[in-house]
Structure 1
Amino acid sequence: MNVISERVVNLNKNLKPRFYIKQLDEHLWIYVGNDYKKYYSPHLHIEFEPQENGETKVKGLFGPDPGLWTLFMFLHFVVAGIFIIFGVFAYSNWSLEQPFAIHIAVMSLMVIAWFSLYFIARSNRKKGMPQAHQLEGVLNKLLEGGN
């Protein structure tokens, strides 16, 4: 792990401002630099797992910007909450034989909102794919020992 730490320090100097790397124990995070960052820019989380045979297993996971992910999760919870609340209202009005068409309409709008959030997320992932490949290139440089 010391070899990787040295490589991280050297590579971090050479990559700024395009990319930057954070390290904590056996974890690395590779980010797109602030000047090149878009709202859909991914980051790469790397975990090094020492194996019993002396080798090291490298695991990587691409993820969205934490702020954007939090916003999307918040929106999903809001949409789900509205859907459930209006579902309860629709059932109550139906059981009381009151009009409930507006509640069903709002629930339908929430389903459309869910699908919209899904397609927006897919679009953002597609837009971030070139930067994900660049992050993978940084990881390959790190593992190969290049600068």
Structure 2
Amino acid sequence: MDTENEITLRLRFHKDIKENSASLLLKFENYSKIKSDDFTIKTSDNHIWLDIIASKRKYWTPHLHLELEPKSDSETHIRGLYGPDPTLWTFFMFLHFIIAGIFLIFCAIAYSDYILKNSITLDLIIITLMTFFWFFLYYLAKSIRKKGHPQMNELENYFNTILES
């Protein structure tokens, strides 16, 4: 998967497998019972989560979420989503909402000051800073994803190993 040219932070993929979803789910459940030195597998209904074990996990470590969708009795559509640790993702979303809130509040204040013919210099400085912080968060997330790329490849290889078994 070529991730360098992707603008999205949470990479997605789709794959069609010539096997029914029940047997695929069984493969993953069987692998989850085998203690791996590097990976953990959790399953719930048609959802599967592949993670790196806690001792090898860093803050940039990705996880892989798979959703099995039956297309027919002998074919399954797999939706995959690579993402950061859910706690880290929630923190990033929290920061985005705070920055967006401050940006919108100061846009309204700047408009009010403009109508009242007050100075809007401070308002524009804060609006510019929030824009800068938003771009900074984006590039920070891109660098985190880039650091996690080798582990993402490991997860993909493990996923393919289970499919081929």
Q: Same fold (TM over 0.5)?
A: yes
Whether the aligned pair in 1 keeps the contact of 2:29 and 2:43 (CA below 8 Å) is no
2:160 maps to what in 1? 140
Deviations 1:75-111 (A, max 9, x none): 0000011111111111111111111101110111001
Unaligned runs of 5+ residues in structure 2 are: 1-20
Task: Give the TM-score normalised by structure 1.
Answer: 0.90
Distance in 1 (alpha carbons) for counterparts of 2:73 and 2:31: 28
1:15: Cα distance to partner? 4.8
Distance in 1 (alpha carbons) for counterparts of 2:131 and 2:27: 48
Residue identity (%) = 43
* Residue number among 34, 47, 64 corresponding to 1:27 in the alignment: 47
Give the structure with the higher percent helix. 1
1:17: Cα distance to partner? 4.2
Quick check: which has more Rg, 1 or 2? 1
- The one-letter amino acid paired with 1:41 is T
Unaligned runs of 5+ residues in structure 1 are: none
How many residue pairs get aligned? The number is 145
* RMSD across aligned positions (CA): 1.6
1:6: Cα distance to partner? 4.2
- The one-letter amino acid paired with 1:61 is L
| Greater mean deviation of Cα atoms: 10-19 or 27-36 | 10-19
